[in-house]
Structure 1
Amino acid sequence: MDILKQLSIYYREKRHYLILSMLCLAAATALGLVYPLLLRKLIDDVIRKQQYDLVLGIALTALGVVIVKAFLQFLHGFFGGRLGNYLAYRLRNACYEKLQFLSFRYYDRAKTGDLMSRLTGDLEAIRNFVGFGFAQLLNLVLMVTFGMAVMMSIHWQLTLVTMITIPFLAGIALKFESKIHPAFQEMRLALSSLTTAVQENITGVRTVKAFAREPYEVEKFSHRNERYKNNQIFAATLWSKFFPAMELLASISVAVLLAVGGTLVVKEQLSLGDLVAFFSLIWFIIGPMWGLGFHINNYTQSKASGERVLEILNHKIDVKDMENAIELSADEVKGEVKFEHVTFAYGNKLPAVRDINFEAPPGKVVGFLGGTGSGKSTIIQLLMRAYDVNEGSIELDGHDIRTLSVQSLRHQIATVFQETFLFSSSIRNNICYGMSEVSMDEVIRVAKLAKAHEFIMELPDGYDTVVGERGMGLSGGQKQRIAIARALLKNPKILILDDATSAVDMETEQEIQAGFQEVMRGRTTFIIAHRISSLRHADEILVLDEGSVVQQGTHDELIKVPGPYQDVYRIQYADHLAREESSTKRGEA
């Protein structure tokens, strides 16, 4: 019950619903004991003693019990449903909020399909058990307790003989729980894997079709589906062994009751009405014992689901505010950035960046050039505090960024990522994302700076055009220009362009770069690019290789010095250099 105890903080405010639900169910259960007693009276007093005038009273009593019991069961369902839904609501909000603040390190390993499974199927299993299953499990105990109490009041010796198989029934149920719990844990993992496969396939359907890999995807899904099927079969096998064993022991109890109770009736040591009442009461006990497997099933599923949900809720946030973190004000921030001996590694891997040192005064434009894995994006993510540095420090206006609140730091930064993400909403909402009370004139102004206004106006509904999931329906260049407009609207002190023009043609890139000249004025700007054309106007360019700065200077300085920058320049401007060389030769001739 430790898992449910941890979850109790999410329904503590409504625990009176749980209490009322259990009380109503307990009362309804107690009323169920009236039926065997009425049956005993009907046989012993009405039939055997021929007191037929009691029939109407017995019938009205039975009717009254039915009505009251039905009302109590309604209240049980009402309060239980309220409790379960309240818990699911609180848990869903808590999980979603925690996912918003979990660090990038968590998402480096997390799978979308698995998280979706936790926030849907697992939460539903918890809701069902806390809302109804817990009360039902308690009701099972009450039914056994109440039933045995009434039986003991009628004939305690017959009760003890009849109940001889109950310990064995409980033992089988407990052994079943110990085996079914690991099976359900594995089943949940298999279901998460299945969900992840479907989510990845739908997300990457264009890639799948482009490479004609449909048969491979079908086979991959089939393997995961088979794993889930085998888990279901294993669980079903456990159930198939559990029910016959329970029924055998229950049948033995009934047989003992009929044999011993019948003998007592013959010897007139027990009335026929008592025997019939006993027969009804034994099912009042054995019935719940049969249902014990079902309740254990619900408990086990909720326990496995609770573990998966709590794994999210209890996960450590790697990057968080320290005590008394400084709240930055946009009016006070100048945008001076300083890296001092910064070293960082992802997990136990080799350092992604080593001993990085540079300064970026307010308004300075710093460019980063390097091959894949050289550490360009890592430097930017460290500046945003997506991760905390292992060694050294990063300062903003003289403050170590670890002393600043994460939210206030990121409010001063706007980033255009290489992989553009757009929400399933209108273009205007995508540009205004995270901003409130923005005028249409401002939206159009930044869209023009990003060279997005013209193609937006050609769309059916202009800025009110709703883009598909992840920006479906727009080209890569169009999505990137919308992302640039979104960053510009934020009016940040620090602007990060992570290969922001990689998806546009050279002509559009030049137009956007011209617009950036105005936007960059007065802002500290960091540009990551593979094209030297995007970097040549930077105040300083850092060339990285395997996480270290190997060259540093302006464009004009670097092209004159043999090294990686000059090599990239010669490759990208080979045609231009060839034309210059040819022109020079003709001039000399």
Structure 2
Amino acid sequence: MRADAPSGQDRTESGPTDRPLPVADAPTGTPLRRLLPYHRRYWVPFWLGITGLLLARVFEALIPLYLRDGIDLIDGGLRDGNLAPEALALPAVAILICVLLRYLFIIASRRVIRRIGIAIAYDLRNRFYAQVQRMGPAFFARHPTGDLMARAVNDIQLIRQLIGMGLRTILVLVFSAGVGLVFMFSLAPVLTLLLLPPLPLIVWAGWRLSRQVFDQSIVVQAGFSNLSDRVQENLGGIRTVQAQVQEAREIERFAQVNQRYADNYLELARINSLIASVMPLLGALCVLVIIGYGGSRVLAGELTLGTLTAFLWYLNMVLWPVRQAGQMVTLWQQGASGTQRLFEILDAEPEVVDTAATADVLPEPRGALRIERLEYRFPGAATHALDGIEFSLRPGEFLAVMGPVGAGKTTLLRCLVRLIEPPRASLFLDDLDIHAYPLAELRARIVLVPQDPFLFADLLRANLSYDTPDRDPEQIEAAAAAAGLGETLARMPDGLDTLVGERGVTLSGGQKQRASLARGLIQTPAVLLLDDCFSSVDTETEARILTAIRALRVGQTTVLVTHRVATARQADRILMLDAGRPVELGSHSELLAAGGDYAALERLQRRRSVLGDPVDEERGT
């Protein structure tokens, strides 16, 4: 379905839409060159539309000739006292026909070209959205949500305006000026030559001011991104703002960002106003010269009144680009700056590159994991987040991963699903390097339930069956029951059809975590990664859920990150990490007997449990 066309209209008028979206070349010269591959898809309807507009200008250029004839007939008749009204019929009818044809061509052609602008914006939005889906954590750290929204909406809107209105107007203005000059020269060559001296000054002024518009447009659009990001962040954390009574401080911070944006926008408006005043002034000087010199030639009898009138009409066609220069420069330069900002995103290289399967036949999913000398360092970091990780899991084994904050637990899980890119030949699924799997296949076999649950503003049913929306209700209910959501659903009047709100705002933290867990369980993956997804769940509920998971996932591999020894003891083996390095690996009883970090942690948590103190999730103590 096409979102950008008016209701009831399709895109067949603007060109085909079933071909793959083009990929623009690397940046060279003006940013607008990057739009050529997108525009080329619609060249046929575009040039048909432009041809129609140019024909409209030809009919417009014929009007002054018939107007000249009519005025000269009237002038001659008044002088001779022999004015025949029927003689004016031909010029009048000819003018009427030219006006009607001009109107029809303009209406049809503008509609086609505007739809091309909408179609190109549609293509750019699709590619932008597809590009963002492939990006990793480092990209989103550089580009906050508000910035991306501003580029996807505001910058593409500027491009649409340039293509749908600016480009056609510039071509038409240039053509009109050329047609006007030709007719002017045919009517009065000397008068036409008088216009040449001011032209270099007009061109120089337009070029200087256009560069200022481009530079200031970049600043304004970046300011709009900052403004959008400020609003996005505030609304996302509104509960924290209100809980900490920071409304006044947030209003002040927003006011500062808003003031900077307003100041920059006013500077852009000042430059645009300067163009809008200077360029018409230069055009008015040309008109004064023609009226003065041309009027003297009419009085001397060297030029007819009708010819001077027609010449002034053509002069208006020539000066029209000058009068519109401010608007055109603004559209052009804002479109260029929007294109530059948009392609900063489209040119970004994904941190994880998806490739086709490199193995002839992918192995059957069994869930065997093998990690060999895994190391990982975040870009720009001085030390490794993971260093020397090495272990293997048999199909159906349950591994618990423990360690203090910053030990590398979440990083390990992200490497397993390639949310971040681990070194090759260090992670193996069913004896095949994970890089040999297409990303979609890898993430279907290894499913990660993240630490921070995210729910869409949709029905609970749609959230739980997010990967396959048409799942049987029985499957959804079974997964929800295994995740401990059964009683919660029973208390909800609408059950699975409950609307959970944006980010699951209508659910508690524990309910959101259990919904996220159910979404992972329902996929029955060969390997299930649970990243501390019970932190908001009480220990009694957690124990029931773990028992249900063990029963549900017989023969399937599970890796659970946790800070609780009471949770980890249910695993077949436990891996202890510290500063990215493995320090212990074994069963609960083996690690207790070893008397190492795990045994010390178990004693401390048992003592806290007796005293009634909660476990410190930051240190696992």
TM class by shorter chain equals: over 0.9
Is residue 142 of structure 1 aligned with residue 175 of structure 2? yes
* Counterpart residue number, 2:53: 25
Q: Percent identity?
A: 31
Residues 371 and 389 of structure 2 are in contact (CA less than 8 Å); yes or no, is this contact kept in structure 1?
Answer: yes
Which deviates further from its counterpart, 215-224 or 100-109?
A: 100-109
Which deviates further from its counterpart, 189-198 or 79-88?
A: 79-88
Residues 356 and 437 of structure 2 are in contact (CA less than 8 Å); yes or no, is this contact kept in structure 1?
Answer: no
Instruction: For residue 328 of structure 1, report the CA deviation from its aligned partner.
Output: 7.3
Residues 18 and 131 of structure 1 are in contact (CA less than 8 Å); yes or no, is this contact kept in structure 2?
Answer: no
Shift in CA distance, 328/126, structure 1 to aligned 2, threshold 3 Å: farther
| Partner Cα separation in structure 2 for residue 25 and residue 270 of structure 1 | 32
Q: How many pairs were matched up?
A: 578
Instruction: For residue 244 of structure 1, report the CA deviation from its aligned partner.
Output: 2.8
Shift in CA distance, 226/97, structure 1 to aligned 2, threshold 3 Å: same
Which deviates further from its counterpart, 47-56 or 335-344?
A: 47-56
* Counterpart residue number, 1:251: 284
| Partner Cα separation in structure 1 for residue 165 and residue 139 of structure 2 | 34
| Partner Cα separation in structure 2 for residue 95 and residue 295 of structure 1 | 26
* Counterpart residue number, 2:25: none
| Partner Cα separation in structure 1 for residue 439 and residue 578 of structure 2 | 29
Is residue 312 of structure 1 aligned with residue 345 of structure 2? yes
* Counterpart residue number, 2:512: 479
Residues 345 and 353 of structure 1 are in contact (CA less than 8 Å); yes or no, is this contact kept in structure 2?
Answer: yes
* Counterpart residue number, 2:67: 39
Residues 500 and 507 of structure 2 are in contact (CA less than 8 Å); yes or no, is this contact kept in structure 1?
Answer: yes
| CA displacement, residues 362-416 of structure 1 (integer Å, 9 cap, x when unaligned) | 1111211111111100000001011222476111112111122111111102222
Query: What is the identity, as a one-letter code, of the residue corresponding to 1:539?
Result: D
Residues 280 and 322 of structure 2 are in contact (CA less than 8 Å); yes or no, is this contact kept in structure 1?
Answer: no
Instruction: For residue 544 of structure 1, report the CA deviation from its aligned partner.
Output: 1.3
For residue 374 of structure 2, the aligned residue among 337, 342, 345 is 342
Is residue 440 of structure 1 aligned with residue 473 of structure 2? yes
| Partner Cα separation in structure 1 for residue 217 and residue 492 of structure 2 | 50
| Partner Cα separation in structure 1 for residue 202 and residue 425 of structure 2 | 64
Which deviates further from its counterpart, 457-466 or 241-250?
A: 241-250
Instruction: For residue 110 of structure 1, report the CA deviation from its aligned partner.
Output: 2.3
Shift in CA distance, 311/438, structure 1 to aligned 2, threshold 3 Å: same
Is residue 287 of structure 1 aligned with residue 320 of structure 2? yes
* Counterpart residue number, 2:501: 468
For residue 69 of structure 1, the aligned residue among 98, 102, 107 is 102
Query: What is the identity, as a one-letter code, of the residue corresponding to 1:33?
Result: A
Is residue 520 of structure 1 aligned with residue 564 of structure 2? no
Unaligned runs of 5+ in 1: 580-589
Q: Secondary structure at the match of 2:157?
A: helix
| CA displacement, residues 152-191 of structure 1 (integer Å, 9 cap, x when unaligned) | 1111121011332122112211111111101001111000
For the aligned residue pairs, the C-alpha RMSD in angstroms reads 1.9
| Partner Cα separation in structure 2 for residue 307 and residue 273 of structure 1 | 50
Query: What is the identity, as a one-letter code, of the residue corresponding to 1:286?
Result: L
Query: What is the identity, as a one-letter code, of the residue corresponding to 1:507?
Result: E
* Counterpart residue number, 1:99: 132
Unaligned runs of 5+ in 2: 1-28, 78-82, 613-621
TM-score (norm 2): 0.89
| Partner Cα separation in structure 2 for residue 108 and residue 230 of structure 1 | 27
Which deviates further from its counterpart, 480-489 or 187-196?
A: 480-489
| Partner Cα separation in structure 1 for residue 441 and residue 609 of structure 2 | 46
* Counterpart residue number, 1:379: 412
Is residue 415 of structure 1 aligned with residue 448 of structure 2? yes
Q: Secondary structure at the match of 1:158?
A: helix
Is residue 367 of structure 1 aligned with residue 395 of structure 2? no
For residue 215 of structure 1, the aligned residue among 223, 226, 248 is 248
Instruction: For residue 577 of structure 1, report the CA deviation from its aligned partner.
Output: 6.2
* Counterpart residue number, 1:3: 31
Q: Secondary structure at the match of 2:162?
A: helix
Residues 462 and 469 of structure 2 are in contact (CA less than 8 Å); yes or no, is this contact kept in structure 1?
Answer: no
- Would you identify which runs of 4 or more consecutive aligned residues in structure 1 move more than 6 Å? none
| CA displacement, residues 39-74 of structure 1 (integer Å, 9 cap, x when unaligned) | 221222332244532222222222212211111111
Residues 333 and 397 of structure 1 are in contact (CA less than 8 Å); yes or no, is this contact kept in structure 2?
Answer: yes
* Counterpart residue number, 2:564: 531
TM-score (norm 1): 0.94
Query: What is the identity, as a one-letter code, of the residue corresponding to 1:370?
Result: G
Q: Secondary structure at the match of 2:365?
A: coil
Residues 412 and 492 of structure 1 are in contact (CA less than 8 Å); yes or no, is this contact kept in structure 2?
Answer: yes
* Counterpart residue number, 1:14: 42
* Counterpart residue number, 1:569: 602
* Counterpart residue number, 1:584: none
Shift in CA distance, 227/576, structure 1 to aligned 2, threshold 3 Å: closer
Is residue 128 of structure 1 aligned with residue 158 of structure 2? no
| Partner Cα separation in structure 1 for residue 555 and residue 209 of structure 2 | 70
Residues 374 and 544 of structure 1 are in contact (CA less than 8 Å); yes or no, is this contact kept in structure 2?
Answer: yes
Q: Secondary structure at the match of 1:544?
A: strand
* Counterpart residue number, 1:546: 579
| Partner Cα separation in structure 2 for residue 286 and residue 210 of structure 1 | 62
| CA displacement, residues 21-42 of structure 1 (integer Å, 9 cap, x when unaligned) | 2111111122221232222212
Residues 22 and 135 of structure 1 are in contact (CA less than 8 Å); yes or no, is this contact kept in structure 2?
Answer: yes
Residues 456 and 503 of structure 2 are in contact (CA less than 8 Å); yes or no, is this contact kept in structure 1?
Answer: yes
Residues 343 and 391 of structure 1 are in contact (CA less than 8 Å); yes or no, is this contact kept in structure 2?
Answer: no
Higher helix share: 1
Which deviates further from its counterpart, 554-563 or 57-66?
A: 554-563
* Counterpart residue number, 1:587: none
Query: What is the identity, as a one-letter code, of the residue corresponding to 1:432?
Result: S
Residues 543 and 552 of structure 1 are in contact (CA less than 8 Å); yes or no, is this contact kept in structure 2?
Answer: yes
Q: Secondary structure at the match of 2:386?
A: strand
Residues 88 and 123 of structure 1 are in contact (CA less than 8 Å); yes or no, is this contact kept in structure 2?
Answer: yes
* Counterpart residue number, 1:406: 439
Q: Secondary structure at the match of 1:95?
A: helix
For residue 428 of structure 1, the aligned residue among 448, 461, 464 is 461
1:168-207 maps to which residues of 2 (within 5 A)? 168-207=201-240
| Partner Cα separation in structure 2 for residue 268 and residue 241 of structure 1 | 41
